[in-house]
Amino acid sequence: MEDGVEEQTAKEYVGNEQRFSVRTDLALEARELVGDERSEISGVRYSVRREGDYEVTISVVEVLNEEGEKAMGKPKGRYVTLECPELKENILEAHQEVMEILTRELRRMIPLKDDTKTLVIGLGNRQVTADALGPLAVSGLLVTRHLYAVAPHELKDRIRPVSAIAPGVMGQTGVETGELVAGLTDKVKPDVVIAIDALASRRTSRVNTTIQIADTGINPGAGVGNFRQELSSKTLGVPVIAIGVPTVVDAATIVSDTIEYLQDTMKAQGGIQMHIFQNFSEQEKYQLIQEVLKPNIGDLYVTPKDMDAVAQRLGNVIAGALNMVLHHLEPEELKEYLY
Amino acid sequence: MEDGVEEQTAKEYVGNEQRFSVRTDLALEARELVGDERSEISGVRYSVRREGDYEVTISVVEVLNEEGEKAMGKPKGRYVTLECPELKENILEAHQEVMEILTRELRRMIPLKDDTKTLVIGLGNRQVTADALGPLAVSGLLVTRHLYAVAPHELKDRIRPVSAIAPGVMGQTGVETGELVAGLTDKVKPDVVIAIDALASRRTSRVNTTIQIADTGINPGAGVGNFRQELSSKTLGVPVIAIGVPTVVDAATIVSDTIEYLQDTMKAQGGIQMHIFQNFSEQEKYQLIQEVLKPNIGDLYVTPKDMDAVAQRLGNVIAGALNMVLHHLEPEELKEYLY
Amino acid sequence: MEDGVEEQTAKEYVGNEQRFSVRTDLALEARELVGDERSEISGVRYSVRREGDYEVTISVVEVLNEEGEKAMGKPKGRYVTLECPELKENILEAHQEVMEILTRELRRMIPLKDDTKTLVIGLGNRQVTADALGPLAVSGLLVTRHLYAVAPHELKDRIRPVSAIAPGVMGQTGVETGELVAGLTDKVKPDVVIAIDALASRRTSRVNTTIQIADTGINPGAGVGNFRQELSSKTLGVPVIAIGVPTVVDAATIVSDTIEYLQDTMKAQGGIQMHIFQNFSEQEKYQLIQEVLKPNIGDLYVTPKDMDAVAQRLGNVIAGALNMVLHHLEPEELKEYLY
Amino acid sequence: MEDGVEEQTAKEYVGNEQRFSVRTDLALEARELVGDERSEISGVRYSVRREGDYEVTISVVEVLNEEGEKAMGKPKGRYVTLECPELKENILEAHQEVMEILTRELRRMIPLKDDTKTLVIGLGNRQVTADALGPLAVSGLLVTRHLYAVAPHELKDRIRPVSAIAPGVMGQTGVETGELVAGLTDKVKPDVVIAIDALASRRTSRVNTTIQIADTGINPGAGVGNFRQELSSKTLGVPVIAIGVPTVVDAATIVSDTIEYLQDTMKAQGGIQMHIFQNFSEQEKYQLIQEVLKPNIGDLYVTPKDMDAVAQRLGNVIAGALNMVLHHLEPEELKEYLY
């Protein structure tokens, strides 16, 4: 049978890639690549629910042990993902709803006492549209560290000392962001570090619609910029919370998704049968395309045309949630301190 | 025969698209879609040659009459394209060589007398990495209109009155760029308008490696931003020269290119036969993918990761060539006036 | 008597400056220079009152006829000035109060029907801290012209077609802002133009604490940037409303103010008598200093150290008021449309 | 005698300011305040010469010991000042000349071996026109640290490892720049730190015409921004070279200068005698004005109207000199690596 032949050859083409690498910044997607929603993965706990008027999907992936780490290609820890298609639209109520859920989930994840010192790092390059999320979020934060010492008692009870930097704007400086953050952590001595970054997804439908928070810190990823360093309790000596939104997909993802659509559409139209990827797992398919694309096309990324407006709004959602988590101020009061 | 069935159905799927639309900003690519390099197209003249150390490819497409316009989907006029893969790299000599050829080709195309007044328009949005080419080029121009009246004779003989704006930075203003340029042309009364814009290509290999100049002005295109208006002698009343560089490709192009690579690679590996697009013309294939992609993925674009640095350099090349064309100053003198 | 001699000589030094020129962008200050608060000036009507928790001072100067124009050096029209020292501080309630009064006063001044088309011009250079007010205000406006045609009925009843540009960011373009605005007005055909600009004051106490609105348009002034053109019903053919905030004072003002302080302080300390400016009017004194300063020190301006933060907040106050005036939307709705 | 009375009272007004503080960032001006050019100051060595077509004035002030430190209010070390009025104009030859002298003087001052690691800090806020010098200079540097390890031998012989940051762009972060620089120095471990900053002068004629370099590092000064921390070998553990250009003067300076001009002018005109500051030293006069100004007018600064263009050019001069000092590359080669 012809199909059989094809399948075999293509698989051979993919080759004996022993070290299987899941290429996504989202734990949720890493899990999807390993098995479908109902299948049990040893060392990984998974739950999902929907909430609110905009039916925000909240998925929790917990990588419990080394076995789970191996299966997922992600370090041990808790990954919470909020998904809401309206997040990429200009719909204030949806943003409000996501912001509230995000606030609650961050409160659960960040270990906070009354005087906890936080250092927020906005990773990424403000000048590159798809990479500006971190700096944009940081610019909306209520930064208080420099005021904390001189604040009156009644205010001190309601704010925590927060500092925040967006080091990536320093661009081609010959200084690694990781070094800078490590050096700064040594001096500022925060109790917890929060790092915000733009991520890469493997599904175009997740671009600008998904927020992932994780208690594992930032690990070398497939993101927009060139950030390939680890920011974690291991490298910084304090807990590191990561907040990320996928703003790009890579070229291979687009190709893979489209071929799938083509297949489905044509099947529905009757007659046509796509033979290319039959009997391939999603992961094998992706790898094949990736290998073909890389030498010919190079480092490209795919991003929405209205990315600049969307990034601004996503930055506001994250800054808003962090302001609520890190301080005890009413939204109106926050506004007064912010502008 | 199975293949026959497939082919038929897929063609039916593409449907009876009567108004055939070639989707590319480059005349060179429009020509490639109509027929291969050796085929004669009625109403279109085409020539190609290579030049210089970096073997810059210079293609000239002339659309001669209505027949040519219909075949190409591009207005009557002369389109000159310079291609040089090193243009996207940081190789000063290659930029220098392209700049010199560009200078010569622009001199041929722009009708210039000693006192010709030029208005240069840098289209695009400086805040969006892939759309910043126009504003970046404009910021490197030697603008002289405001000095011309008061310049001493010996300088006046060597400069022409040039004004230049980058109107796109005005963003969401409710004012169409076309209106603004038309209003400005009414007041400034230039003899020639030069419009610089970022384009879309259908080949990833052309992104950031290709400069197209045309005496047709800017026509509603497939570019990065939302610029869909015509800037031409018809709308502005004076000759309009367009200068463009493709900085993005659209998602459909990437998919199409990759499937082609996949096909070729697998064929070379033996065994596998890709049945999807067999017997389809390139154009039919593109259209099919486009139709499938659009509703599912929306307005995305694909751009290189180092687009911000490359755009700066490409802007310098174009500004450099225009400064040489529009004034009679040595490079060292230019520098003095520019900074 | 020594004093007499001094006085005479100094007055002679000022010389026979026949064409008396009042050097301030504020009508209120022009009036102060002509005579004190209680004195009647022929052709000029003046009133002042205080309002609200923050005791906002609202002055109305009306230049009624040619006689008034001559006395004031300002064209015929109505000038309303709001003064509130807290405007330069980060006090949300004060901004809110000023914004509400500004909304009311603008409603009185701008001739608005349900479908009035407005074009808002943000003059000034965003890159220069003290000159960024216009662009900053424009970036906070709800721009609707491009949506108006396609808006549903229920929304159309509540918004007016507004377009807005910040042309000054185009920098050294060889194109006069006046030409650009005139060209644009020809094309957009607004019913009213609103121009926002940073002004110069003669009193340091008015910097960032004062908003002037006028139905006379913009007249060549002493402002921050190089804007020296007229934007008025005479040049644009439609009513032009000007909104301005003094963000700088010139060097002569600072010198004059300080010498006055010195005089007063020393007098209070007893003993010392300052003989320099005795028997000089404020205007003569200013002119004298101006003439001395100019050739030696050149074009300088004086601006507060925290100008960048203050400009952002002032831009928000003006944008907020204009959004309330030009549309019938609740603040919460506005927010939704804006971000 | 009346004058006597005045003098006495005014002096009393100045009061018993015991801790005499010279308020200028320039050692040259500190020296001028202590005594005139010909007078010997114990513990301070001073020399001055002119050089080149543009007659650049090169002053060297050496503070030799504690006695000198006390007299000058500046730490022990070597301060070299280049003055050239054409530096503030757009005159390429003048900039070239100053750049060459600056290159030579920096070579004398910076302790360099073949593999010396340099960390350059661009202090100041890029968003504030008068404070952008540091970030602008840094953006013109050839940064090589990230390339050094992988560079081929023939290149390695000609470049040194340089890293560079402009931390001030991080704005209101709650993180002191001093902490950030200290943390970074700990990680990057440079052999020498070079800090570039905008300064305040006491003479308007020195604004944008003067470059000071010093081997003492940065000391809490009277500069534009809020930088009040020490960056020196004491705080960072390695030699710190400071490069600064005065871009502002403070209000008190302008007042003082003008009154002086007034006095001189009037005296020349005959008749008038200014009694205010008679028998006061320049320093007493400045202090008096300062005390009067402060509570009434607050934190203001005075800066030229064309500061943004000038800052860009000054940044280029400094970056150009540093590139020549830190690497062994020809100007043309530098260009290739820079863009």
User: Per residue in D275-284, pLDDT tens?
Assistant: 555 556 666 6
pLDDT tens column, B265-308? 666 655 444 455 555 666 666 666 666 565 555 567 778 877 88
Q: What is the pLDDT of residue A85?
A: 93
Q: What is the pLDDT of residue A321?
A: 96
Q: What is the pLDDT of residue B137?
A: 95
Does residue D310 have a pLDDT over 50?
A: yes
A312 near C CB under 8 A: yes
Does residue C245 have a pLDDT over 80?
A: yes
Q: Do C165 and B184 touch (CB under 8 A)?
A: no
Q: Would you place residue D130 in the very low, low, confident or very high pLDDT band (cuts 50, 70, 90)?
A: confident
Cα distance between residue C210 and residue C201, in whole Å: 9
Nearest CA in chain B to D92: B336
Cα distance between residue D49 and residue D60, in whole Å: 9
Nearest CA in chain B to D333: B92
Residue A299 C-alpha, separation from nearest chain B C-alpha, in angstroms: 6
Nearest CA in chain C to B118: C174
The end-to-end CA distance of chain C, in Å, is 70
Nearest in space to A227 (alpha carbons), one of A165, A303, A176? A176
Instruction: Compare CB distances from B184 to C145, C171, C180 and report the shortest one's residue.
Output: C180
* % of chain C surpassing 90 pLDDT: 41
Cα distance between residue C236 and residue C189, in whole Å: 10
Tell me the average pLDDT of chain B: 80
Q: Would you place residue D39 in the very low, low, confident or very high pLDDT band (cuts 50, 70, 90)?
A: confident
Q: What is the mean pLDDT of residues D230-242?
A: 95
Give the 3-state DSSP-derived string for chain C, with helices as H, strands as E and coil as C: CHHHHHHHHHHHHHCCCCCCCCCCCCHHHHHHHHCCCCCCCCCEEEEEEEECCCCEEEEEEEECCHHHHHHHCCCCEEEEEEECHHHHCCCHHHHHHHHHHHHHHHHHHCCCCCCCCEEEEECCCCCCHHHCHHHHHHHCCCCCHHHHCCCCHHHHCCCCCEEEECHHHHCCCCCCHHHHHHHHHHHHCCCEEEEEEEEEECCHHHCCCEEEEECCCECCCCCCCCCCCCECHHHHCCCEEEEEEEEEEEHHHHHHHHHHHHHHHHHHHCCCCCCCCCCCCHHHHHHHHHHHHHHHHCCEEEEECCHHHHHHHHHHHHHHHHHHHHCCCCHHHHHHHHC
For chain A, which chains pass the contact test of at least 3 CB pairs under 8 Å? B, C, D
C167 near B CB under 8 A: yes
* Chain B environment of A306 (Cβ under 8 Å): 299
pLDDT tens column, D143-200? 888 767 666 777 778 889 999 988 765 545 777 788 889 998 998 999 999 999 999 8
Tokens of D241: 């070279």
pLDDT tens column, A188-220? 999 999 999 999 887 888 999 999 999 999 876
Complex-level ipTM beyond the 0.85 threshold: no
Q: What is the pLDDT of residue D19?
A: 29
Instruction: Compare CB distances from C292 to D261, D272, D292 and report the shortest one's residue.
Output: D261
Does residue A328 have a pLDDT over 90?
A: no
Q: What is the pLDDT of residue B271?
A: 47
3-state secondary structure of A252: helix
Rounded to the nearest 5 percent, the helix, strand and coil shares of chain D are 45, 20, 35
B96 near D CB under 8 A: no
Q: What is the number of CB-based contacts under 8 A between chain A and chain C? A: 20
For chain C, which chains pass the contact test of at least 3 CB pairs under 8 Å? A, B, D
Q: What is the pLDDT of residue C94?
A: 93
Q: What is the pLDDT of residue B12?
A: 29
Instruction: Compare CB distances from D5 to C2, C271, C297 and report the shortest one's residue.
Output: C271
Q: What is the pLDDT of residue B39?
A: 78
User: Angle, nearest 10°, between helix axes D177-188 and A177-188?
Assistant: 120
* Chain D environment of A182 (Cβ under 8 Å): 183, 187
Domain ranges of chain B: 3-338
Does residue A161 have a pLDDT over 80?
A: yes
Q: What is the pLDDT of residue D13?
A: 30
* Chain C environment of B164 (Cβ under 8 Å): 173-175
Does residue B227 have a pLDDT over 70?
A: no
Strand partners, A162: A118
Q: What is the number of CB-based contacts under 8 A between chain A and chain D? A: 88
Q: What is the number of CB-based contacts under 8 A between chain B and chain C? A: 88
* Chain A environment of D164 (Cβ under 8 Å): 173-175
Nearest CA in chain A to D339: A172
Does residue D260 have a pLDDT over 80?
A: no
Place of tokens 């906005």: A122
B302 near A CB under 8 A: yes
Q: Which of C107-121, C125-139, D233-247 has the lowest mean pLDDT?
A: C125-139
Q: Do D301 and C305 touch (CB under 8 A)?
A: yes
pLDDT tens column, A272-290? 444 555 556 666 666 666 6
Q: What is the pLDDT of residue C15?
A: 30
pLDDT tens column, C189-242? 999 999 999 998 878 889 999 999 999 998 765 555 544 678 999 999 999 999
pTM of the entire predicted model: 0.79
* Chain D environment of B312 (Cβ under 8 Å): 339
Does residue C72 have a pLDDT over 70?
A: yes
Instruction: Compare CB distances from D272 to C10, C226, C272 and report the shortest one's residue.
Output: C10
- Residue A315: partners with Cβ closer than 8 Å, 6 or more residues away: A132, A133, A135, A136, A137, A139, A140
Does residue C157 have a pLDDT over 90?
A: no
Q: What is the mean pLDDT of residues C3-30?
A: 46
Strand partners, D165: D121
Q: Which of B142-146, B310-314, C78-82, D86-90 has the lowest mean pLDDT?
A: B142-146
Say which CATH topology domain B3-338 has.
Answer: Rossmann fold (3.40.50)
Tell me the average pLDDT of chain D: 80
Cα distance between residue C310 and residue D185, in whole Å: 34
Q: What is the mean pLDDT of residues D78-92?
A: 93
* Chain B environment of A3 (Cβ under 8 Å): none
Q: Do B313 and D90 touch (CB under 8 A)?
A: no
Q: Do C297 and D254 touch (CB under 8 A)?
A: yes
Q: Do B303 and A304 touch (CB under 8 A)?
A: no
Q: What is the pLDDT of residue B136?
A: 92
Residue C317 C-alpha, separation from nearest chain D C-alpha, in angstroms: 21
Instruction: Compare CB distances from C6 to D273, D298, D304 and report the shortest one's residue.
Output: D273
C171 near D CB under 8 A: no
D155 near C CB under 8 A: no
Q: What is the pLDDT of residue D17?
A: 28
Residue of higher predicted confidence among B64 and C227:
B64
Element (H, E) at D246: strand D240-250
Q: What is the mean pLDDT of residues D117-138?
A: 89
